[in-house]
Chain A
Amino acid sequence: MSVAKHFSRKYLREEVLPTPFCPGCFNGVVMNAMFKAMEELGIEDLRNFVFVSGIGCSSWIPNPLIRADSLHTLHGRAVAVATGVKLANPRLNVVVIGGDGDLVAIGGNHLLHAARRNMDLLVVMVNNMVYAMTRGQLAPTTPLGFRTATTPYGNFEPPINVAKLLINTNANYVARWCVSNFHKLKQSFKEALSEVSKGFRFIEVVAPCITYVVRYEGKTPGQKIKELREACVEVKSISEIDDVERRGKIAVGVFKKELKPGYVELYESYASRAREASQK
């Protein structure tokens, strides 16, 4: 009998392990949820997948770890490059994995316009609440009162609520889960890869940085997961989000789920209309 291996290992490049992440980094848990979803959907090889990432800690997830084609692009431009990949070959399943600094801070406009176009991408945002790779500075998603390297007496800038922002765009699927909601997160990955397989799908994972958030608070990774289990409250409708957040909790859940035609579908119908008009 061969030695038992972790279930994620069949999707990973063995030669680059161990991972480049800090001990206890929640990036690995996000990967576990994604791979568990793929395993349950029966996706054995990732030949039809392209993973695109920018710069940041969580952008190390696809490249070099995942055994699939991946593009490690410029800082913040992951969504823009992924748009190009999808339009060049619409049969590919394009997945963008990035952090809050990459997708919201520097690449915010790309994210917004990809959501507006309902671009056929799955965007996974690992929200670690700080700029972790550059040593824990204030990010646009840092909650109020948080101690970071640039706000040692507590953050005074109100943060941006990305999931709530994207509900109001044309996106097909918007969900937010904490890293402690493993099964719900896995379910969201399954929905975004099978049920809602077109249009813009956005999954935010609240996964506080181990080194610059959790250790600053004097906690261990395991304690943080237990704390998040209490702090994350699932909402059934988007009207409850404000209510939950006013109580100082994190609202999680599937906020939006629609089946509108994606950009590729709209573009193809436009192209056929253009061809007909030119033949007249």
Chain B
Amino acid sequence: MGCSIVVDSRLCKGCGICVELCPARALELSKELSPSGYRNPVQTGKCVGCRTCEMFCPDFAIAVVCNGKGSA
């Protein structure tokens, strides 16, 4: 049980929508820069699997995996 958040650092532009909209406050922008120069989100708290970040991610970079399965 439990969900985890996978971020594709090639696509993420660090807009922070996922960090601000996460109802469980499970995400934070990283201190280090990604290869393309953005601050990607990293999971710091417990993910409840609501998939809000996935729905509002404008760059298709985030995926929520619950019990080993993504939504796709």
Partner-B contacts on A (CB < 8 A) = 1, 3-10, 12, 17-19, 21-29, 31-33, 36, 39, 182, 210, 220-223, 225-226
Contact = CB atoms under 8 A, between A and B. Distances in A.
Classify the interface of chain A: helix, strand, loop or mixed.
Answer: helix
B20 A4 contact: no
Contacts of B65: 4
Contacts of B14: 23
Nearest to A30: B58
Given A23-B13, A24-B17, A223-B20, A4 B70 contact: yes
B57 A222 contact: no
A24 B13 contact: yes
Interface residues of B, number: 30
B60 A8 contact: yes
B10 A18 contact: yes
B72 A28 contact: no
A3 B59 contact: no
14 contacts: A6-B62, A7-B63, A9-B72, A17-B60, A18-B10, A21-B58, A23-B38, A28-B60, A29-B57, A32-B55, A32-B56, A221-B17, A222-B19, A226-B20
Nearest to A229: B21
A104 to B, nearest CB: 23
Contacts of A1: 68
B63 A24 contact: no
Interface in B1-48: 6, 8, 10-11, 13-17, 19-21, 36, 38
Question: Which of B17, B60, B72 counts the most chain A CB atoms within 10 A?
Answer: B60
A23 to B, nearest CB: 4
Contacts of B70: 4-5, 7
Contact of A222 (B8, B16, B64, B68): B16
B58 A7 contact: no
A12 B56 CA distance: 17
Given A19-B58, A221-B17, 15 more contacts: A1-B68, A4-B64, A5-B70, A5-B72, A18-B59, A18-B61, A24-B15, A26-B58, A28-B58, A31-B60, A32-B58, A182-B55, A220-B15, A220-B20, A226-B20
